Structures are given as C-alpha cells and as structure tokens.
Structure 1
Amino acid sequence: MHPADIKKTQRAVQFDQGRLQIEDIADIANGKAQAILSDDPKFRAAIARGADFLDRLLREDGIIYGVTTGYGDSCTVVVPPELIAELPHHLFTYHGCGLGEYLTPAQTRAVMATRLASLSKGFSGVSVELLEQIARLLDAGLLPLIPSEGSVGASGDLTPLSYLAAVLCGEREVWRDGVQVPAEQALREAGIKPIRLRPKEGLAIMNGTAVMTALACLAYDRAAYLTKLTTRITAMASFALDGNAHHFDETLFSVKPHPGMQQVAGWLRQDLDCEQTERNGKRLQDRYSIRCAPHVIGVLADALPFFRQSIENELNSANDNPIIDAEGERVLHGGHFYGGHIAFAMDGMKNAVANLADLLDRQMALLVDSRYNHGLPANLSGAEGSRAAINHGLKALQISASAWTAEALKLTMPASVFSRSTECHNQDKVSMGTIAARDCLRVLELTEQVVAALLISVRQGVALRLRVQPDAALHASLSDMMEVLGKDVALIVEDRRLEPDLRVLLERIRSQAWELYAPQN
C-alpha cells in the first residue's frame, strides 16, 4: 500500500489541551493513527502566550532557571544575555551520551507523540512552531535514533530526549523507512527546515517523562491482552488435563470480591463446562496452577485500572521544569519531571506479568508429565506405535519455557528502589522510571515467548485429550481457538524444529490477532 493510502486509512489523534488515552499513543506507535496538531486559534493562542511571556521576562531581565541560568546544580551560574540563545543547543549537545540498543521505530513514534502531548498543555513556554516541527517529523516518518539507556528518570528523560531535540534542529541521525540517515539530509530531502530552539525549548523538550511514559503506554497495551490470552490458555490446559471446572463457580467467586479476578473466572466459565457433575471421576481439587489461575491472572486484571490511571495522568500532564503560568504571569519551579508514578506502575506491572509466565510454566509442567496429566502421553508426544520410542514431543520446549520464565522472574526486582544521587547531588533522589519501563517490556517479551510455548502445548494437549476421550465436550470458544491454532501449528507427531511455529505465534500475540472474550451484554 502506498504511504499516502495508508494515511487515508489511519484515524486522526488530535493534539491540543484535551485528554488523550493510552490507545491513542499505542495506535500512533503502531501506524494505526496519525498525530494531528490542532489548528484551533484558541489553542494556538494559549501556546503562544507562554512563549510571549518568556520573551517579555527576558526583555525585563528576569531570572528564569535554564533560560538565564545554567542547568541543574549549575542554576547559580548566570548566563550572559548575549549567550542565552546558545544555551539550548549546549543542553542537547552535552546530553548526547546515550548507549544501548536504539528504541524501535514504534517506540520512537510513541515517545514523540507523548512529548507532543505534554508540550501541548500550554505550560512549557514553547512556540507553536516547535509543536509543528514534532508533528512534521512524525508525519514524514523521520524518527530520531534514540539510545535506550542513560536516563535515571529525573530530571525526566534528559539524555534520550536530547536526541529528539537535536533532530528537530537537523542534527544527529534518524530512522527513515527503517534505514539510518543523517538528520540534516533527511530533513532537507523531506522539505523540512531545521528549527533553532528558543531559550526555554531545549529544556521543555528534554526535561520530562516522555520516554518512560511512552514505553508504559506500549507495555499496558500488551499486558491487557495477556490477561485474556493467559485465561484462554488456562481453559485449554484445564480441558487437556481433564480438570474440574467447578473451581471457577460463580457463587464460589462471589465471596471474594476482587472484580478483575471475578472477571477472569467468568471468562473461564465461558470456555469450560461448569455444569458437569461435581466429581464425575475427576480429581476433587486440581493443582494450584489450574485451580488458582483466576487468583494469579486476576492480580494483573485488578491492577490494570490503576496502571491506566497513573499512565494516562502522566501522559496528560505538563511535566517539565519550570512550569510557565502565562495567565498568572509566573514561573513555577518544581519537580514534575520526576517519574515516580510511572516507575511504580512499571515495577508493579512487570511483577504481575512475570507471574503469568510462572503460572503458565507450571501448567506446562503438568501437561508434559505423564504422572500428572491424567492419561496423556509423556511430553505430549503425538507419535504412536513403535515410533513413539524415538519421538520426544515437547520435552525441549518445556526446558525453553522454563528458561524464559526464570529470566522474566529475575527481572522483577523493582527498579524504583535503586535511586542514585547524580549531578553534584542536585538530582539526589531519582525515579528510575525509564529503567522500570524497559524492564517491563523485556518481561512482557519473555512472557509472550512462554505464552507461545503454551499455545503449542495446549493445542497439542487438547488434541490428545480428544484422542483418548473422544466423547469429551469441547465448548465452542475452545473449538474455535483450536481451529485457528491448527492453521499455524500442525499436530506434533514426528519430532520437528518448533522455532518457526513459535515465531509465527509470537507475531500473532503481538499483533493481538485473536479476538478474546467479547464484553457480555
């Protein structure tokens, strides 16, 4: 599809002083939406008032942190009037010391949109031209190369955001159609003129929480999907293990009123035959990884509304320093760049998500072990007859899933407790929010790999259960899931390399290809 045609199919997300949602940022990141800067004259006048107020203060010899002074601990250093215009360039230049892998194009789009959202609130003292330049780069697909490492999360994401500031001015490098290109060349060829940052604009771009908040938006989107997908896998595991669906009884869950946990149990009731006779030859109590699955998945389900509130409040905040109150004609020095709320949300999310990996890893251990899987073949091998002796089914896959789970669990140490005093003890208590967000994304990545392994396992386990119990009743939702999984993963009879299957399933998971648990009327 031609790029112009793609833009026609995208929904528009308008940037003004209105409230944005996580999905707006996620859709811009994933190419499903286009960022549009509002052309409302009232909005543009509100933005301009902040820049005009700063101009007047400068003419009147006012003292403004980061405008007429040095930065951070250097706030006691007075900048001579003739050098004020050069200060923003120095700020993004000396912060060009990031390392690590570059943010992906999707992550970079999320960062740019998140910073645009904050600056559009009208309390940063920036010009309309600066906002337009960010929107232009997004529209042209010119994305700053942003190293992922080097932020302590206060004063915001200074080092990574310096790469956005530099590219706006035609310096450093960009992604263009997946290729690294010098920013000066890319802007010139796109017909975009580099800007010169006004006195407060370097600080306004860099001294904020855009990187951690953008990554948090993308993490939330993935975690919310995993609550549903892990529930569906649990239902399939319960069926494959000939489990007792009465563990998810509605009355049972009514006496412990965590709404997210109750929702998970409700989803399991949609997938399983909860009207079966209480015992019916089944084990009275299934092991915890099945019986307590709503209690594990439900922690994340119940935490998601809190995570959403924290992330969206940060997304819709003016979070640089100083805050410019043009209406009251005040410069307010504070610490809104501190990313504590995002750090706490990401530390909490990675813990809850890693517990999903651990839950599924335990379910897989039951599925492959003939001592616990209620009559299924060892390692869920589909081979029969003499060939069963040389086929090993999912033996190695269970080892890999265990490795991914262990790594995810290892990363759950909260980043926010590792504050370091930096910058001559000016930044003596910092949030570590960006590290927490990066850790959370890695935990999500590992957990999705475990999910892919379990999708193969439950697809195999359900098929083998139907082989040994042809009269077992499979609900429509699980039958549909078996059908779609069967298109990607053939039944494993003879041993085969499973990496291609896993990679296909990972693509399905990350594109959220399957509709799961439509809202009930």
Structure 2
Amino acid sequence: MINLKGHELTLEDMRAILYQKEEVKLEQSAIEAVQKSRKAVDRIVKEQSTVYGINTGFGKFSDVSIEEEDVHALQLHLIRSHACGLGQPFDEIVSRAMVVLRLNALLKGFSGIRLEVLERLAFMVNNDIHPVIPQQGSLGASGDLAPLSHLALVLIGEGFVWDGDQHVPSNVIWTKHKLTPIVLEAKEGLALINGTQAMTAQGVVNWLESETLAYQSEWIASMTIEALHGIIDAFHPAIHEARGYPEQVSVAKRVLHWLEGSKLVTKQGEKRVQDAYSLRCIPQIHGASWQVLAYVKEKLEIEMNAATDNPLIFEDGEVVISGGNFHGQPIAFSMDFLKIALAELANVSERRIERLVNPQLNEGLPPFLSPQPGLQSGAMIMQYAAASLVSENKTLSHPASVDSIPSSANQEDHVSMGTIGARHANQIIQNARRVLAIELICAMQGIEYRGKDLMAPSLSKKWHEIRAFIPSITKDRIFSVDIENLNKYLKSETARKIG
C-alpha cells in the first residue's frame, strides 16, 4: 500500500503502483488539507466573490462572470468542451499513472476539490479503472487540458475506460461497481484538468523504461566486447576516476563486473593496441546518458509532487492566486533531454552491431554472422533495421520545447509542447530497445562462434536464459519475430528494480 500525501511520491513508488498494481491510500493529513481548501471554495461561492475558475469563464473568458446557479453547469461544459484529444490512446499504464499523479497533486490541498472526488480517483486506481485518453491535442500549457478532460469524463460517467484491449463506456463500469458518476461542483472541473499530468505520467513511464534499458545496455555491450575480443584495459578504474564523472566510473565498474572471469576479452597489445570508440568509450558514452537520467529523475519527482493547477488556494481561502504552475516547461526540457540520451544509447549500439557483422571489423567472425555466407544473409538486414531506427530517432530527437503556438486568443501566448516531447521520447525508447535487442542477437551469435564456454559466468547465465527463446542462427529465418520477442523480454524487466 502506497500512502499518497501530495508530497514524497517517488519513481520507485510509481513502479510499484504501475507495474506491481500496488494499491494507494489517502494520508489523513492530506485529507484534512483538502477539506479545509474545499470549505474556502464553498465560502467564495456563497459570498459571490469573483475568483477565476470558480465563478468566471476560462482562458480568454476569464473576465466573464458566472451566476451562482450556473456554477455547476460551468464545470460540466468545461470538461466536455476541452475533451478534444485526438489519435491513438496513451498506453493503459500511462493512463493509470495519470490518475495517480492527478490524485497526488490534488491531495496537496491547494485546489479546492471535494474529498469524495479524490476518493473516487483512488477507487479507480485500486480497481484498475483506467480512462481511455487520446495522445494528441495538448499544448502543455495551460497544462494538459485535453488529455485530462478525457480522464475527468470518466468521473462524470462519460468517456471510455480500458477493459482488456477493449474500450467500454465508463457508465457501464460505474454500474458494475454499484456507484453513480460524480457531479462536479464549483472549481472541480478546472482542478481536474489544469495540470501537467499527461506529460508527467508519460515521463514517469519513460524514465522507468529508460533506467531499465540503460542497465540492460551495459550487459548487452559487455557481450559484444566478448564477441569482438574487446580490450578490457579501457575499463580500468583509474582512467575513469581521473576524469571524475561518477556515472562514468559506475558504468566502467559494472561492465568489469559483467566481464569478470571472461576468457574472451583481451589486454592491450595482445591482438591490437586499442578498440574503436563504440567499445572503448562505453563508460563515457553510456555514463553521459546516466547523467541525463539523473537530471530527469530530479525534475520528474518534483513535478510528481507539485501543485500545478490554477488558481491555488492558500491560508484557508484568504489568499486565492492565479499563477502559471500548469506550464510544462520543466518537463518539456526534461523529455527533450531524455530523447537525446536514449537516442545515443541506440546510436552507439548500432555502431557495435556494424562491427559484429562487418567482416572487415569483426575480428574473424563470419561475414554478417551468416552460417553460409553468400547463400544465407544472416544478420545483414538486422543491421539495416537498426540503422533505420537510429535514423528515425534522430528526427524524433528534435526538441519539441523550442516550438510554441499561441492559443486562447493570445492569452496563452507561450506554451511548452511538453506532452509532444514526452510522446516522442517514448517512441525513441521503443526504438532504442529494439536496436539493443538486435545487438544482443548478434553478440550472442558472435560468442557462439568464439566459444560460449569461455564467457564470463554472469554473461553466460544471461546467454543461456535468452537462448531458451531466441535460437542460434543456423539458417536464415524471419528475424523480426526474434527481435520482437526479445524486445518484450527486455521491456518486461521494467516491472522490477534491476540496478
């Protein structure tokens, strides 16, 4: 059980909630803060004070006053009109993350929402009720309005939820659980949709997958080192300590651990003086990607616990301030940075693939690792596929955050495009994992030619585990099946902490 407080939620908590279906519980101190905040909203409505989002219109309509009898209709119109999401839905796990993150933000007690709405969000998490939320349509300021509106639709008995691979109307689910939809009161529609939880939810899933992939890239690269009789001296601790980046030092240490006991690696001067950069500079290249992961982790964990709606209510309602915490710039930058880091892991992996299959570079392995060079193509086209994915990643790495298109009659004249950045980061991660899967297939085949009995014990264990479902290349076959099976295996490891 994870206690949600509105603060202190971590990425490891999110791993447990998302992948291990850990349930959530509302912390008592947060409940009290929520109730105080709601009393303030009720007082504002009763006193007919003019406060943005409670009894005014939204965006450019912020100067339009709303009569007390229309306050409820205002929230319903808001959700329906803003539910303009387009395209394919976010993965169900991202939808689950979105519900958790919006709930955690509202528990801070700055939003004026009723406790019963938050209890319903918690019920959704604990009963696997996940909204179907289209991926496209958010500018990332004022928050993720369109995606979060589709989340809010489910609360009011509209919209759709996931049921396996199917989408079913939300009112069917509420009837199944003997519950009625929520009727939104003053400010609650705005509180639900004015935030950065779409980009942050996708960002959380991105980071968890990226961390797993970064660790996997190290043992996969270590197999390639064995297959190419790589020079182990380049990983000596003194080299990396001399530069001083802790991430670089850690990568070198982990690679040495994976290669401990290997009879396939060489020392400098035995076969050649030094390796190509894609082998020799693994700690420097991969270590730099780890630096990015550390930066992104810091920003995500701040945003996961942030009040990102508008207006915010302070001092028991005596102070209600309109601001701009919904602006997604910090996450937009983080996702753009993450894109580069993961694209580079794939980039250098593809270069190692080329060395494994190229007869001029692979230290005597068969051309393209073919069992019958010429008659059978072996891994030739796997390298093509990896090159294609790497090239696609370079296009996707263009920063989304450098773009901005004004909206709401120029009231919202600078937006973050953070959700686009998060979505593109996810695409890069999926591409990078497949590139690493190709490297692993090629490295395992190379090691088979060298002598699998000479492997490092820790890598030998991995080799045998994967050979159970990825057979040796004894003849040409449809390799896309192997790549996808290995991709699924690698992705599945995100469910547990492996570092």
TM range (shorter): over 0.9
Say whether the 8 Å CA contact 2:212–2:498 is kept in structure 1: no
Give the distance between the partners of 2:122 and 2:398, measured in 1 at CA.
37
Give the superposition deviation at 1:271.
2.4
Q: 1:441 aligns with which of 426, 434, 441?
A: 426
Tell me the equivalent position of 1:93: 80
Deviation per CA, 1:287-318: give whole Å up to 9, x if none: 11111111111111122222111001000011
Q: What is the aligned partner in structure 1 of residue 128 from structure 2?
A: 141
In 2, distance between residues paired with 1:124 and 1:359?
Answer: 46
Q: Deviations over 1:390-410 (max 9, x none)?
A: 122101111111111111121
Change (3 A) 1:102 1:254: same
How many residue pairs were aligned?
A: 497
Among candidates 22, 32, 52, match of residue 39 of structure 2: 52
1:120 matches 2:107: yes
**1:295 & 1:369 partners in 2: Cα distance?**
24
* Corresponding residue of 1:487: 468
Q: Is the 8 A contact 1:123 1:326 kept in 2?
A: no
Cα drift, residue 265 of structure 1: 0.9
Amino acid at match of 1:30: Y
Question: What is the TM-score with the length of structure 1 in the denominator?
Answer: 0.92
Matched residue type, 1:437: A
**AA at the equivalent of 1:444:** I
Other-structure match for 1:478: 459
Give the distance between the partners of 2:298 and 2:291, measured in 1 at CA. Answer: 12
Query: Identity rate of aligned residues, in percent?
Result: 34
Give CA-to-partner distance per residue, 1:431-464, whole Å, 9 cap, x none: 1111110010000011011111111111111111
The alpha-carbon deviation at position 375 of structure 1 amounts to 0.8
* 3-state secondary structure, aligned to 2:110: coil
- Deviations, residues 241-274 of structure 1 (Å, cap 9, x unaligned): 1111111111111111111111111111112369
- C-alpha distance after superposition, 1:357-399 (max 9, x if no partner): 1100000001101101111100012x2xxx5441221011111
Pick aligned residue for 2:19 from 22, 30, 49: 30
Structure 2 Cα separation of the partners of residues 78 and 515 of structure 1: 51
Mapped partners of 1:128, 1:474: distance in 2: 58
Mapping for residues 318-329 of structure 1, pairs under 5 Å: 318-327=307-316, 329=318
Any idea what the Cα deviations from partners look like across 1:132-173, whole Å, max 9, x if unmatched? 111122233222211110001000000110011111011122
SS of the aligned residue for 1:488 comes to coil
In structure 2, the partner of 1:242 is 229
SS of aligned partner of 1:324: strand
Cα contact 1:168–1:194 (8 A) shared by 2 = yes
What letter is aligned with 1:79?
I
Give the superposed CA RMSD. Answer: 1.9
**Of 272-281 and 328-337, the range deviating more from structure 2:** 272-281
Deviation at 1:514, TM superposition (A): 11
Does the 8 Å CA contact 1:290/1:363 hold for their aligned counterparts? yes
Equivalent positions of 1:178-197 (< 5 A) are 178-197=165-184
Aligned match of 1:507 in 482, 488, 496?
Answer: 488
Is this contact kept in 2: 1:49–1:326, CA < 8 A? no
Rounded to whole Å, the distance in 1 between the matches of 2:498 and 2:134 is: 38
Which segment is superposed worse, 365-374 or 78-87?
A: 78-87
Distance change in 2, residues 1:324/1:510 (3 Å): same
Report the 3-state secondary structure (helix = DSSP H, G, I; strand = E; otherwise coil) of the residue aligned with 1:24.
helix
Structure 2 unaligned residues grouped into runs of 5+: none
- SS class of match (2:320): strand
The answer to whether 1:375 aligns with 2:364 is yes
Q: 1:29 Cα shift?
A: 2.4
Trace 1:345-424 onto structure 2 (pairs within 5 A). 345-381=334-370, 383=371, 387-424=372-409
Q: 1:278 to 1:176 in 2, by over 3 A?
A: closer
Shift of 1:178: 3.2
1:407, 1:172 → 2: CA distance?
Answer: 34
Deviations 1:26-80 (A, max 9, x none): 3322243122233x2x432221111111111121121110111110111111112
Distance (whole Å) between structure 2 residues aligned to residue 54 and residue 224 of structure 1: 42
Q: Tell me, in whole angstroms, the C-alpha distance in 1 between the residues paired with 2:459 and 2:261.
A: 14
What does residue 333 of structure 2 align with? Answer: 344
Deviation at 1:24, TM superposition (A): 2.0
How far apart in 2 are the matches of 1:316 and 1:488?
Answer: 41
Give the whole-Å Cα distance in 1 for the aligned partners of 2:8 and 2:469. Answer: 40
Distance 1:374 1:128 in 2: 66
Rounded Cα–Cα distance in structure 2 between residues aligned with 1:174 and 1:427? 31
**Corresponding residue number in structure 1 for 2:319:** 330
1:259 aligns with 2:240: no
Alignment-mate amino acid for residue 228 of structure 1: Y
The structural deviation recorded for 1:278 is 4.0
Query: What is residue 313 of structure 1 aligned with on the other side?
Result: 302
